[in-house]
Structure 1
Amino acid sequence: MRNPEEADGFEGEASSRSMMSGASSPYQPTTEPVLPAHRLHVRCDTEYLRSTLGLLKVLEVLLALIAFICIETVKECLPCGGLYFFEFVSCTAFVVTGVLLLLFSLNLHTKVPQINWNLTVFGFLATGAYMVNSYVAVKIWRLTDRRQVTSQSSEYTRARSESRGEVESQPEIQRLEE
């Protein structure tokens, strides 16, 4: 049978009373204070949602969602590059602006004071500017590539025509050579 002192612990295990009983026990109480669990207090900031910035964010989220839904209804496209880019931009705008709206309307931005959230928005704008720059650069590159292919095919056509003796019958080719 067990002693009343050992009633707290399991067999072969020290009880909590014997752990705290003093110098004769090998188990000493901890010296670190027990802190209460840190809770994240989240509340909806209706003042932010009514402010100009809040209303703009809500409008941006709604417009990005509508744009994304509209682009998803397109069934066919022949040159789809622009369509895919618009789809990417509208989806990204919806997600990023939605996250920012949640951060600001739930006051979560105050829980991470190491990040300057207002400047972070400008970081997203700079990223968008770089993306537009990349898109334009690729578009120019493709145009240049198409012109080179077109000029190579016209040279091929001229060389083929010359080899067949068809140059005399095509005055526009003769004009280009002069």
Structure 2
Amino acid sequence: MRDNEDREGFDGEASNTSMISGASSPYQPTTEPVIQRHGLGGMRWDTDYLKSNFGILKIVQVVLALVAFICIETIMECSPCGGLYFFEFVSCSAFVITGVLLLVFSLNLHTKVPQINWSLTDLVNTGVSTTFFFLASIMLAALNHRTGAEVTAVVFGFLVTTVYAFNTFLAVKKWWQSDQRPTTVQTSEYTRARTESRGEVEPRSEIQRLEA
């Protein structure tokens, strides 16, 4: 009987000891969820930006500029070629610059370089692209030879001009709102300070009247 009691006591002590050692062990299994990171080198796709108006407009701009560039590249003969070469330069430049900005914003790379005003950079790019695409489309429409590739390039040129113009409008609106916001905050703080100072001055004047 005693042997059984000793064994039971020993088993109980062993189980208690294992529970204590398990509780104090630094190698306990954790129940915290494992967060999976998407991207390389800390970069991740910003799906919110890609779903926003600016993200969608940038994707459309890149696609339309690429299609216009491909159409103009299929033309083998031209005379005169000034309008064709200008349209080719504009479509290629817009595709590359807008594509780079799309990657910068969608990967949140602009947060790593805060020294650059990215909102103003986007505004300048959309405004310049709108102007040059509009001029290039007019020149190509006036100097084309009625071929299918040229007509298609002109159509896509005016389409991408419209998209860039709408993006410019939204960028100007966003820049204007961000520029007016600090002024509004400063005005509200100034008004509150004036109100507080008046609240401190009025009791003092009443005290002076009572003393007089």
TM-score (norm 2): 0.41
> Which one has the bigger helix percentage?
2
TM-score (norm 1): 0.49
Higher relative contact order (CA 8 A, sep 6+): 2
